[in-house]
């Protein structure tokens, strides 16, 4: 682990940010009609280490604006369509490298993997196929690294691994990295994307919600900041636990965020869902999250927020 650089450098970088108020217009236009049927959104492709998942060819099509785009250029632009701003999903590793300085990331618990604790039919083969598909052991990457020179504890989920579902491994890895952050007085950043708790591990999955929130309770008691970044989609058991208790809660544009699935709500209430229901913009307009941050601004914004939240600590250490 490289030591954090001189904090003054971090401040310089912060000041050099293209302004802290570069957020999108405070009232973004309502999401387009295509956002209204979130679960039917075309399955986008992603770059990075999971290349073999992508269809052959050097071009891809933006599912929102239908523009044909050059895949290499898309990757260079953090998988954001430069025509319409559509945020393609990122793999966990792509997200890590988009946030962490150079090669400063030191992964924790890289070998931890799930066991079929309930002998649930089909779980082992599901795990195996997800491991093969993603090259990951489970649905989260955790570790310590530098973000604009500041040492942070980072957890990043990957929707490609069984819908980013949280079982024992996701809960344990996040809890451990939060506990490390508490011990080392570090801020925690978790980028979530998940369909919820992992059914295959039954009640053990549900208990990860309490476990992660408990670790954050003790982290927060030390007046250490936790920033939750919600990416598309973050639902159910993950949303009803660590993802919702950030000192700051940020979301990527148009990310689907909620507790119950839209179909369940529709079936239960027999009501039409409001326009843009359960999108990042809907949550912001209802006062439920702090800000929507476009992906290309995320790293700089996180650095600035941490400069604010850690200001008195930084001053005490200077």
Binding characters for other proteins, 105-124, by CB under 8 A (x = yes):
----x-xxxxx-xx-xxx--
Cβ atoms of 101 and 300 within 8 Å: the answer is: no
Does the footprint of other proteins cover residue 308 (CB under 8 A)? no
| Degrees, nearest 5: CA angle 112-94-225 | 75
Binding mask 153-172 for other proteins (x = CB under 8 A): --------------xxx-xx
- From CA 108, how far away is CA 245, in angstroms rounded? 23
**What's the min distance (Å) between Cβ of 118 and other proteins?**
5
Residue ranges in 132-151 that form contacts with other proteins under rule CB under 8 A: none
**Per CB under 8 A, 30 contacts other proteins:** no
Name residue, tokens 């196929």: 129
Which single residue is written with the structure tokens 């059914």? 199
**Which range touches other proteins (CB under 8 A), out of 52-60, 77-85, 206-214, 294-302?**
206-214
Q: How far is CA 307 from CA 76, 109, 170, 210, 301, in A?
A: 27, 28, 28, 29, 10
The single residue among 1, 76, 106, 203 that binds other proteins, judged by CB under 8 A, is: 203
Is 291 an interacting residue with respect to other proteins (CB under 8 A)? Answer: no
Contact 209, 194 (CB under 8 A): no
Contacts of residue 260, defined as CB under 8 A and 6 or more positions apart, other chains included, come to 236, 268
Q: Does 49 bind other proteins (CB under 8 A)?
A: no
**Residue from the set 225, 233, 253, 258 that interacts with other proteins by CB under 8 A:** 258
- The span from the CA of 163 to the CA of 218, in Å, is 29
Give the pairing type, strands 59-61 and 68-70. Answer: antiparallel
Question: What 3-state DSSP class applies to 225?
Answer: coil
What does the alpha-carbon distance between residue 53 and residue 49 come to, in Å, rounded to a whole number? 9
| Residue 12 touching other proteins (CB under 8 A) | no
Pick 91 or 208: Cβ nearer other proteins? 208
Is residue 82 within the footprint of other proteins (CB under 8 A)? no
CA distance linking residue 40 with residue 263, whole number of Å: 11
- With binding defined as CB under 8 A, does residue 194 bind other proteins? no
Helix (H) or strand (E) holding 283: helix 280-285
Rule CB under 8 A: which of 265-284 touch other proteins? 265, 268-269, 271, 273-274, 277-278, 283
Contact region for other proteins (CB under 8 A) — 22-30, 76-84, 86-94, 209-217? 209-217
Least separation in angstroms between CB 97 and other proteins: 25
State yes or no: residue 174 binds other proteins (CB under 8 A): no
Q: What is d(CA 124, CA 200) in angstroms, rounded to the nearest whole number? A: 10
Contact positions with other proteins (CB under 8 A) in 213-242: 213-218, 220-221, 236-237, 239-242
Q: Decide whether 159 or 204 has the Cβ nearer to other proteins.
A: 204
Minimum distance between the CB of residue 74 and other proteins, rounded to whole angstroms? Answer: 31
Q: Calculate ∠ Cα 218-221-224, nearest 5°.
A: 95
Residue 164 or 167 with smaller CB distance to other proteins: 167
Q: Measuring CA to CA, how many Å separate 139 from each of 142, 159, 198, 288?
A: 10, 7, 10, 26
Binding region for other proteins (CB under 8 A): 109, 111-115, 117-118, 120-122, 167-169, 171-172, 175, 197, 199, 201-211, 213-218, 220-221, 236-237, 239-245, 258-261, 264-265, 268-269, 271, 273-274, 277-278, 283, 286, 288
């Amino acid at each position: 682990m490289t030591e954090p650089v001189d904090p003054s450098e971090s401040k310089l970088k912060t000041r050099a940010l293209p302004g802290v108020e570069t957020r999108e217009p405070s009232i973004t236009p309502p999401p387009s009609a295509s956002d209204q049927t979130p679960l039917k959104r075309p399955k986008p492709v992603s770059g990075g280490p999971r290349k073999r998942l992508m269809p052959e060819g050097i071009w891809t099509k933006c599912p929102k604006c239908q523009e044909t785009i050059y895949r290499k250029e898309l990757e260079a632009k953090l998988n954001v369509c430069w025509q319409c701003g559509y945020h393609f999903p990122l793999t966990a590793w792509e997200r890590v490298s988009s946030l962490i300085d150079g090669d400063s990331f030191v992964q924790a618990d890289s070998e931890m993997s799930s066991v079929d604790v309930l002998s649930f039919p089909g779980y082992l083969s599901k795990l195996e196929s997800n491991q093969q598909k993603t090259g990951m052991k489970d649905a989260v990457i955790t570790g310590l690294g530098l973000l604009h020179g500041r040492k942070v504890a980072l957890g990043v989920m990957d929707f490609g691994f069984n819908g980013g579902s949280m079982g024992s491994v996701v809960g344990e890895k996040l809890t451990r990295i939060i506990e490390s952050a508490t011990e080392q007085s570090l801020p925690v950043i978790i980028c979530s994307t998940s369909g919820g708790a992992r059914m295959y591990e039954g009640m053990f999955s549900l208990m990860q919600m309490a476990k992660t929130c408990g670790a954050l309770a003790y982290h927060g008691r030390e007046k250490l900041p936790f920033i939750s970044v919600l990416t598309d989609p973050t639902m159910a058991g993950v949303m009803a636990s660590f993802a919702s208790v950030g000192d700051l809660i940020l979301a990527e544009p148009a990310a689907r965020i909620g507790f119950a699935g839209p179909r369940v709500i529709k079936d239960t209430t027999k009501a039409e869902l409001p326009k843009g229901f359960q999108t990042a913009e809907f949550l912001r307009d209802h006062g439920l999250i702090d800000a929507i941050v476009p992906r290309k601004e995320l790293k700089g914004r996180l650095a600035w927020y941490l400069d604010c939240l850690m200001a008195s600590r930084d001053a005490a250490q200077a």
